[in-house]
Chains A and B, each alone.
Chain A
Amino acid sequence: GAGVSQSPSNKVTEKGKDVELRCDPISGHTALYWYRQRLGQGLEFLIYFQGNSAPDKSGLPSDRFSAERTGESVSTLTIQRTQQEDSAVYLCATKGGSNTGELFFGEGSRLTVL
């Protein structure tokens, strides 16, 4: 499809396990963002990639969280040793070259840590 695609759409895991979430961006979009959305809350910025520049990791809540992206391709967000407070929807968004803040969001990956 033409939009941002995220997988899995739902993930249930046990506390202490590692999880990997995937984001397929819109082709040609150089900027990619990960946000976390807890139930009934707004979006918390996690990490930002722009082309081949060093990512802005300022929003990652702990060293259990990491993300990778090679060039303008797929990104993966990894959460190690998951905790119950990691339960949330993880949203990926990408942005094209326009000088606006229009981010194109995927439908998110809902993570539940038991």
Chain B
Amino acid sequence: NAGVTQTPKFQVLKTGQSMTLQCAQDMNHNSMYWYRQDPGMGLRLIYYSASEGTTDKGEVPNGYNVSRLNKREFSLRLESAAPSQTSVYFCASPAGEVNTGELFFGEGSRLTVL
């Protein structure tokens, strides 16, 4: 099925460990986004990529790095995980080649940092 695929779905890390969240979309769109959602809160934008090879900071970029190596994939890296990064992470991309604002979200990656 067309859409946004995130891996892993669940991950537990110890403080200081590093990991990369992977996101792939098959809708052939230029834009991709990473959001995080803490319990009881709305989504907050971490980073986004308007096109292949470009990335921009969102509301809460500190502690994260991103990489957009090709049109399909947009990865989010935690270099040194902290308990404050315990959250659910969502990747999103517009549903189609024209960005009308209709975003398609992945199922989320649930990260716990101990």
Do A and B make up one complex?
no
A residues near B, CB below 8 A? none
B residues near A, CB below 8 A? none
